[in-house]
Amino acid sequence: MPRALMFQPPPARIPHLKDADFIVSCNCLTQLAGPFVEYFEKERGFSELDSDKLAYQIMEQHVKAIAHDAAGVGLIITDVERYVLAGDKIVTRTDLLKALKLPDTIKHIHNEEWEWLIAPAPEEDPLRDVMHLVEAKVYQRITEEEQKKEGEAAQEEADDRPLPPELDDKFSDGGAPPIQR
């Protein structure tokens, strides 16, 4: 079994995660695994696949910490895809998050996506532009008590809705409609 899969990665170590009102992860997600991947490839002979798995685990733990474990509001801004363009044609596309998707949470506040022309020609290539697709998501943790209150409020709202006029006459005695078989 490859070494990258033998152990679960440790939880993300973000100082003051549980105390902070606002945590921002900006353009670092794809860079987090770099030093580890470099070390394990050089010192332990990791293959590209093993390195990708390790990078995925590191990014996944970081995202989980901000989206699910932070006490306050969490903001993740990260490049998710890299495109090399020749004119308007995509020459190559690279998934920078190794198939990781930024999660949605129960209380997902905002989602934004944009293209970033990171290296216009001839910066990296004399004939090609390099563009990144960037995602930004804002998360706010929701407690179990808030979840319960939201569920109760939704149920009360559903209970308070009037019946459509054609059913109101049928069930004016307040009884539930009979089950049709």
pLDDT tens by residue, 17-53: 788 889 899 988 989 888 888 888 888 899 988 888 8
Rounded to an integer, the average pLDDT of 95-108 is 81
Give 73-86 pLDDT, tens digit per residue: 899 999 999 999 99
Give 109-146 pLDDT, tens digit per residue: 778 999 999 999 999 999 999 999 999 999 887 666 76
Q: Is residue 93 part of a domain?
A: yes
Of residues 151 and 89, the one with the higher pLDDT is: 89
Our count of domains for the chain comes to 1
Pairing of strands 129-140, 73-86: antiparallel
Q: Is residue 176 part of a domain?
A: no
Domain that holds residue 134: 3-10+18-162
Helix axes 34-44, 48-64, angle to 10 degrees: 150
pLDDT of 104 strictly over 70:
yes
Of residues 174 and 15, the one with the higher pLDDT is: 15
How high is the pLDDT of residue 92? Answer: 96
Q: Is residue 73 part of a domain?
A: yes
How high is the pLDDT of residue 1? Answer: 44
Q: Is residue 167 part of a domain?
A: no
Q: Is residue 116 part of a domain?
A: yes
Q: CA–CA separation, 100 vs 83, rounded Å? A: 17
Average of per-residue pLDDT values in the chain: 80
Q: Is residue 172 part of a domain?
A: no
Q: Is residue 67 part of a domain?
A: yes
DSSP state of 36: H
How high is the pLDDT of residue 150? Answer: 63
**H-only helix segments in 45-178:** 48-64, 144-160, 165-170
How high is the pLDDT of residue 173? Answer: 56
Rounded to an integer, the average pLDDT of 62-72 is 87
How high is the pLDDT of residue 163? Answer: 58
Q: Is residue 135 part of a domain?
A: yes
Q: CA–CA separation, 96 vs 31, rounded Å? A: 10
